[in-house]
Each structure stands twice: as C-alpha cells, then as structure tokens.
Amino acid sequence: MTTRRVLANAIRALAMDAVEKANSGHPGMPMGMADIAEVLWNDFLQFNPGNPKWPNRDRFVLSNGHGSMLQYAALHLSGFDLPMSELERFRQWHSKTPGHPEAADTVGVETTTGPLGQGIANSVGFALAEKLLAQHFNRPGHDIVDHRTYVFAGDGCLMEGVSHEAASLAGTWKLGKLVLVYDDNKISIDGEVEGWFTDDTAKRFDAYGWNVIGPIDGHDAEAVKQAFVQANAQSEKPTIIICKTIIGFGAPNKEGKEEAHGSALGKSEVAAARDMLDWRYPPFVIPDEIYAAWDKKKIGAEREKKWNDAFAKYQAEYPELAAEFVRRTASELPKDWASKSQAFVEKMQADGPDVASRKASQMTLDAFGPLLPELIGGSADLAPSNLTMWKGSKTITGPDGNYVHYGVREFGMSAIANGVALYGGLLPYDGTFLVFSDYARNAVRMSCLIPAHVIHVYTHDSIGLGEDGPTHQPIEHISSLRLIPNNRLWRPCDAAESAVSWKVAVERKGKPSCLIFSRQTLKHQQRTAQQLADIQRGAYVLSDPADTKFKAIIIATGSEVELAMEAARTLAQQNIPVRVVSMPCTEEFDAQPAEYREAILPGWCRARVAVEAANADFWGKYVGLDGAVIGMTTFGASAPAPILFEKFGFTVAHVVDTVKKVIG
C-alpha cells in the first residue's frame, strides 16, 4: 500500500543513498522534513515539470540548502528532468545535484541557497514580486498572477540576522501568499541548540505581523496538511508553520542527534534505517507505484493549459497589458530602449553638467525610469542622500508602486532584491552608502553566483564624503567588490560615464552590477563620439598628447580622473607628454579582446601611475613592477574633503612627481 509515509520514505531513502555514495552531505534534514515535503509537493505546490519556468507556478525555496537532497528527490520523483543518474552523482564534478541548490545548475531550483537565512530573504523577494505584478497586471476576472511562495528553513536560518530583516519587511508588506515552514528540530552541527538559541519563535513572528501556526507534529501528515490549508485560507499576513521534527527520522541510532546533521550515516546505519522504515528496495531504486503517486507531469500540464486558456482571454480583452506581461517575463527590454537610452547618454555628454555622480545617477533614473516600467528601486533609509528616488518613484504601499523603503536593512535589502530579480518581470536596484556594502556583501556575492540581474547602487564612494570620518569613508570596499567573480563594478568620472554605467547595467541581462557614485561634484570631461562609445568597454583613452609620443600613462577612476587630467596638463607644460586612461570598470576592460587592451595600455609603456582614492594594492596588475599607485593604505579621517585629498596625497603636485619618478 502506497501510504503518505511510504511516499515520504522515498525522499528519506534517496537522501540516505546519495549522501552515502558521495560520503558527503546532510541526510538529517531531508529525513526530518520528508513528511512535510511530501504533503506540500503532492497536495499544494502548483507547478509543471514539463515547463519549470511557467510564469504562474508556485515558487519553492529551500533556505536550509544543506538539505539539498530533499529538493533533488522531490524534483526527480515529481517528474522534472533530473534523472536518477544525477542523484547518484550527488556532489560530484559538473553534476546537476551540487552540495547546495544552485539555480544555474538544476532544473526546478528557483534560487541558489547555502548561506543560511538568505533563502528566506529571497522568498520575501519572490512574494513581493508576485504582489507587485499582480497589482499591475491583474484585472477583474483575470488573475493571471496568482500563486504562492513556500520556503523551508531551519534553526540556522532563523538565527542569521538577515532572516530578521526580511521577515520584518514581509510582515510590514502583508505578503499573505508567503508561507515559511520552520523545521524546529533543535539540532545544529554543534549539537542541541538550547544552549545558544532560546528565542520564542512564535512570539517573534507574531510581533513581525505574521500569521503563526503551531507548533505541530511535522511527522503527522494530516496535521501538516491542515496547517497548509489554514495558511492559504488568509491573505493579509505571511504565515510561519512551526513543525516539530526529528532530524534523521528513521535512523535508529542517530535520529534526533547532531551525528545525523552533516555527514553520511554509514552503511550499517543506512541498513538499520531501511529496516526501521520498512524500505525493502536497493539503493536508488524506486518502485513504479511510488513514482506514479509522485508524478506531476500530467496534472502540471493541465494546470498550465488552464492558465494559458485564461491568459488567452486576458490577451483578447487587454492586448497591450498582455504584450507587456510577455515582454517582461521574457526579460526583454522595450523596443525603444536602445535608441532612447543612447540619446540620453549623448545628451549628458553634450550638456556636460558638473555634478556629483550620485546626482548624475538620479538624472539618469529620471530619463530611464519612464522607459522601464519593470524598474523597481529601493534604498536602505538613505534615499535623500544616495538619490535613488526619481521623479516617477512611488512607494510600494500603493498600486503600481515602484520604490521600496527598506529601512536600515542593507543585507536584507540586497537578498530580497535577488529574489525579486529571480522571480522575473522586474528589474530591481537597491542603494546605500558604499561603506555599508560590507553589511550587504554576501548577498551581493550571491547576486553574482546565482546570477541575478540586480543593480546595486553605492554612493559616498571615498574620503571625498568628508567630515563623517573613517567610519563612513570606504577604503577597501571597491577592491573587495571587484574581487567577486561575475561582478561588474562601475566608478564613473562624470555625468556621461554615469549614464553609460546605468545603461550597461540595465542591459546586462541576468547578471549584476555595482554602480559607485560620489558625494562631491565632478567636472565634466570632453570626449569625441568614439571616446563616448568606448566608455562601455570599461577603459578608454581620455587624453593623448597631440603631436608626440606619450612617455607615461596615468590610469584613474571616478573623482580622480579630473585630478589625472590636471596633472597631465601640468606635465605637458613641462614637456612631459602623458596619456590619461579613464577606467570606470576594470572587469569590463579585462573582458575586452587583447588587441583593444594593448591599444589602451601598450606593453612598451611601462611607466604607469594608477590614481584611485581606494585601496592601493588592487592596481598592481595594471601598473606592473615599474609603475606606481597613488591610493589609500590607511583609514580616512574626519575633515572637509579638500583637506583629506591633500593630506592623503591626491594632489596635482603628487601625481606629477610620481609620474616623473616612474619615467626616471
């Protein structure tokens, strides 16, 4: 007889077998949450294995991603294109079943999880995106955006501070279609958590404005089912279902213990668990009747067809809205984007305003915002300072809102933005001071790893912010963000470069960017049409001697480009010709063909000086052993910006002297 417990045991067996074969992994959580997963996947979760990207599917997020075999087993059993051979290759080179769920590797995985707590924040982003798109596109009798987000999480997720930030916002935003299942097994790697985690979770989430269900017995399928029914019966509050479970359920000598958490059970314990669970099948063998009970290919196709039929009626009645929905869910930019965005870039070059790049960023948003209805902005309580609000910004508390006030929650903001981006149909950007990117950095890293099309806006980019002093003056942050693979960090030197950085970031489909803007005013630089076009290549020649060969190259970014240009003019008066290279995005420059890179930084010229009011060590690969770097090697200080630049050596005289030394 195929009972619910037998269906759940299929997850337990696959988790045991995969971890045992890999001799690596976490069997305890999948075994403990198997009964909950079986109820969710078989009775509630709406999806189509034949089309994992069906727009109106429910989203499932495994925040406690170390228990990845639970998700892989459920995907395999329900009919996704994840064959048993991939489960047998769990945690192996180039398998589709990595140690933690990765959206780029495994069909049906919505987001990459692993760093605990961020899956909760991603799920808040999914639920927020669903609510925003429903408000925008749904019409009476046409609920084309209407589904739920479910997230599994454990003790570790709730201990991480990012869960507090995200859960607080979810309650404030009344994300009633978000359901969090808390695996309350009281065990972490160090043992029983009662020594370090005594929070009253129910009261905590009640205080956030959540609907709290439980504690319930997470191994009682009927109790779990009724909890989901209760959660889905209301729409005003997100719901947490607190489930008491036994980690490693079914392993007689290790269940309920930390030994079941993060390592293979061992052959003898796996055999004992098979006896205890009455699972009489060899490793990686699932009987046909169990497959048949789990299979969702037919019902999934029927669900999608029903939605497609409803969408066809919507399309007939609201053709423009339907076309916009299709465009946005396909992550395609508007047809007039390319021409209009380029026209604005050219206007910024022609107008030549001397403004802080944070102001140039806002001017660009004023121009680009009306072109991009999918644009969703936000800031961690600093909108008046980082100028992330534009003329068309509307707080999301109302219909068609497009701006999120995240409060002082940099980490939660960035992780939520990742979820919004992954959901589709929206292009999120967030904002804070650059120095506070430290709070958000792991979520930025996840933007790059997943990857997710998020634009992270950071202002007050150097000691140039002045009197607030070293606590607010970023030193190592630009270099730190540049080190993240798959990132693109832009530090523009004026309004034109600022506009280009926004344009390129918007067009970087499916991948993130960090835009770094100044507090202080930056002088406009003159350019030819070719120089303007070359900005997007990450580096270009901004100035060359007119009639002679240059003897040195000054490389600069941001506010230091103006300094480099002044130094070049002074050197020219002393008959020392130099080239000035503006390098707003080192990663983009590094990705250019070798011929272009050689044309900008020719190998024959080893007299090079890099100038950037940030960590000096980064620039060695561009200046070489014969060059020099004018940068920061200490923290900043509290003083007006002009004084700081002088005291830390960012002066024309110092650049001139340094160039002379490298030439000599």
Known binding-site positions for thiamine diphosphate? 66, 114-116, 156, 185, 261, 436
CA–CA distances in Å: residue 445 to residues 230, 505, 578: 37, 16, 37
Q: Fill in the amino acid letter for 336.
A: D
Q: Hey, how many other C-beta atoms are within 10 angstroms of the C-beta on 104?
A: 11
CA distance 461 to 554: 20
Q: Single out the residue of 63, 175, 168 nearest to residue 130, CA to CA.
A: 175
Instruction: Give 592's contacts (C-beta < 8 A, 6+ positions apart).
Output: 537, 538
In SS3 terms, 229-256 reads as HHHHCCCCCCEEEEEECCCCCCCCCCCC
Long-range Cβ contact pairs of 188-194 (< 8 A, separation 24 or more): 188/155, 188/156, 188/258, 188/261, 189/258, 189/261, 189/262, 190/258, 191/258, 192/258, 193/155
CA distance 497 to 491: 8
CA distance 171 to 165: 10
Known catalytic residue at 410: yes
Instruction: Copy the structure tokens of residue 327.
Output: 């465009």
CA distance 222 to 191: 30
**Binding site residue list:** 26, 66, 114-116, 155-156, 185, 187, 261, 358, 385, 436, 460, 468, 472, 519
CA–CA distances in Å: residue 360 to residues 475, 478, 497, 504, 513: 23, 20, 9, 15, 17
CA distance 154 to 182: 6
Q: Which helix (H) or strand (E) holds 458?
A: strand 455-459
**DSSP 8-state symbol, 639:** S
Dihedral sign of CA atoms 384, 390, 391, 393 in order = negative
Cis peptide before 215 (omega within 30 of 0): yes
CA–CA distances in Å: residue 245 to residues 184, 192, 219, 250: 6, 13, 7, 12
CA–CA distances in Å: residue 440 to residues 117, 408, 412: 13, 11, 8
Longest C-alpha distance within the chain, in Å? 93
Instruction: Give 259's contacts (C-beta < 8 A, 6+ positions apart).
Output: 248
CA distance 16 to 371: 52
CA–CA distances in Å: residue 135 to residues 189, 206, 445: 43, 26, 31
CA distance 578 to 556: 13
**Binding site residue list for substrate:** 26, 261, 358, 385, 460, 468, 472, 519
From the candidates 259, 304, 410, 497, give the one annotated as an active-site residue: 410
Instruction: Copy the structure tokens of residue 54.
Output: 């069906």
Q: Which helix (H) or strand (E) holds 81?
A: none
**Binding site residue list for Mg(2+):** 155, 185, 187
Q: Single out the residue of 336, 412, 419 nearest to residue 370, CA to CA.
A: 336
Instruction: Copy the structure tokens of residue 627.
Output: 């060059």
CA distance 567 to 272: 77
Over its C-alpha atoms, the chain yields an Rg (Å, rounded) of 28
**In what side-by-side order are the strands of the sheet with 628-632?**
540-543, 578-582, 552-556, 608-615, 628-632
DSSP H stretches of helix in 609-649: 620-623, 641-647
CA distance 35 to 242: 14
Residue positions annotated with a catalytic role = 410
